[in-house]
Structure 1
């Protein structure tokens, strides 16, 4: 039985990457040493690190005035790092509340003593659409605007960024990183946990414009952009294996045709499922169509008991991890980059058959 994993993260990796890791695990690059045991100070790892940075720069079109850094702590760690590094003038942050993770970012900044203004929120409609900036907002009073580009739980995404004049845009791209094209020049800071589209859990990518990197007096070393720039992300032992695996995924993505080609594939995959949900009499997706995510698709039957039956039957058919986030329930299919079109089609076929065989009276 073919297994498809629709988990929201840690998520599926490309089959060819898993195979390459398996083959190279005893001896990476013919060194006679496993990647699990090589020194982060060795030339072998330095080459792995530089290759990953160069491939990411090529894939995203990252300009020369941006730094690529590798942190630990996930996207959640960057909820603290971003204000500590960037909110050093006004100590004030603007935020669009588009869901759980946007709110968490705001809460973390407040905990650290920063003022956070929520300029708009769609919490009242259960985040079924995206909030947008009010007209004539004065951006000069803020150090930056925080934007969650893809809302993993709620299934919404900004396909073009909200821009606030006279302030820096900070983007959490954790769940659609490299899944659709964005212009890096629009952002002062981009961060993304690897465990959805880029690799195994344990490494977080930070892309930061050089004018935003400066010494900060009161900041933990492990969150200090200036220090990590100086040390080339090697201030302490970095997550060697996750960086190695992410580098393999980046090469896989290049071979596939890059981010623009990946976006076309993701639009096709998500379109298969959205088209089915839109005509279904049993299943529904409540997200405003223009705001729908390409990577995270929540849906429901409207009945907790029936949702549970669907999840059990799907698991029995090898369609794994379809249970929705505990805060919203229902079902959710995460169609990240490594999910093949066949996986999206298999899910649609299963849901179609389930509906035909379980028609409501």
Structure 2
């Protein structure tokens, strides 16, 4: 049965990644052991770790000044680890969505947070380009893509202080100068891998400037020293990340994915704007290429539309519980065919109920 998976995370993965990881769970490299059984200090896993690290650096064009970590706790733990490692007195944050706001709440436990832009009063429907980053703060934090509301930063400011970015829902989806960031973190279950692992990419020179004692597991420097195996890491998720990154490289790299993602998003937004029954509430210049949110103009038709797409083996189209409506997450691994099929369903629904 063909399933069209628009889940926001855990989300669609490349078919080849699923098949290879499934085989590894049964028997890793015909060693007689499952991938789930191998030691995290074995030669097999250390090779996986090294290869995955090199793939991240190669795809993102990172120099030797950066360390790549594979941690646990999701982006949520990073909301705490970032200020614990980097905040002396004050940091600047963009409040562009619910997850960005959660990061702000955690940072306030460590010092002063200066919110240099907040979109909360307009339901996070846009991202300002006219904010100023104070040069005296310890770092600047932003969220590149806001999964719940469906906004995305299209450009990043030039910053004289370390720029920290939560890229959980759009990492590896578009070409950027990744060396402009002091630290990038991303939970894996959207564009990278299965759930349970978080990638942290940090410029090593920004660390070690906090005088307070940091608990070992929350200290980036200790994780770098221990090469991501301070404790037992999520071997399966790291392995699946390696397979996904190999898939990206084989396709031709991030620039190829960016073109595909732009095409998928353009088609879907054009249909939403054209269709008499649907609307998108995000400012056009800030619309996400990863998470397309939309609403029925006539709420009484929601049950009918839900019946329609569910019957056609579409999954994960419900909007976030805090927002309602619909959300089509069109991550890297989602094929163009899935977007085209959803559009055909929307067109047929319009013919029937407009």
Cα distance in 2 for partners of 1:218, 1:242 equals 30
1:322-341 matches, within 5 Å, as 322-341=317-336
Cα 1:279/1:169, change in 2 over 3 Å: same
Alignment match, 1:253? 248
Q: Which structure 1 residue ranges, 5 or more long, are not aligned?
A: none
Aligned mate of 2:342, from 341, 347, 355: 347
Deviation at 1:215, TM superposition (A): 7.2
Report SS of the residue matched to 1:40.
coil
SS in 2 for 1:36: helix
- Describe the SS at the equivalent of 1:300: strand
Paired residues for 1:1-361 under 5 Å: 1-88=1-88, 91-110=89-108, 112-134=109-131, 137=132, 139-164=134-159, 166-214=160-208, 217-359=212-354
**Is the 1:133–1:162 Cα contact (8 Å) retained in structure 2?**
no
Decide whether the 8 Å contact of 1:300 with 1:307 is kept in 2. Answer: no
| Structure 1 residue 334: Cα displacement | 0.1
Q: Note the C-alpha offset of 1:175.
A: 0.2
Aligned length: 353
1:7-58 CA-partner distances (Å, limit 9, x unpaired): 1111011111111122222221222211101000001000000000111111
TM-score by length of 2: 0.97
Q: Deviations over 1:243-271 (max 9, x none)?
A: 01111111011111110100000001111
State the distance in 2 between where 1:313 and 1:272 align. 20
Equivalents in 1 of 2:97, 2:24: separation in Å? 40
Q: Distance in 1 between matches of 2:86 and 2:324?
A: 36
- Does the CA-based 8 Å contact 1:94-1:145 persist in structure 2? yes
When structure 1 is superposed on structure 2, of 296-305 and 234-243 the one drifting more is 296-305
Which consecutive segments of 4 or more residues in structure 1 shift more than 4 A? Answer: none
Q: Tell me if structure 1 keeps the 8 A contact 2:133–2:140.
A: no
TM norm structure 1 = 0.95
Tell me the C-alpha RMSD between the 2 structures: 1.3
CA contact (8 A) 1:97 1:131 kept: no
CA separation of 1:82 and 1:133: change in aligned 2, threshold 3 A: farther
**TM superposition shift of 1:325:** 0.5
Paired residues of 2:87 and 2:110 also in contact (CA < 8 A)? no
Q: Secondary structure at the match of 2:113?
A: strand
SS in 2 for 1:140: coil
Structure 2: 5+ residue stretches without partners = none
Partner SS, residue 16 of structure 1: helix
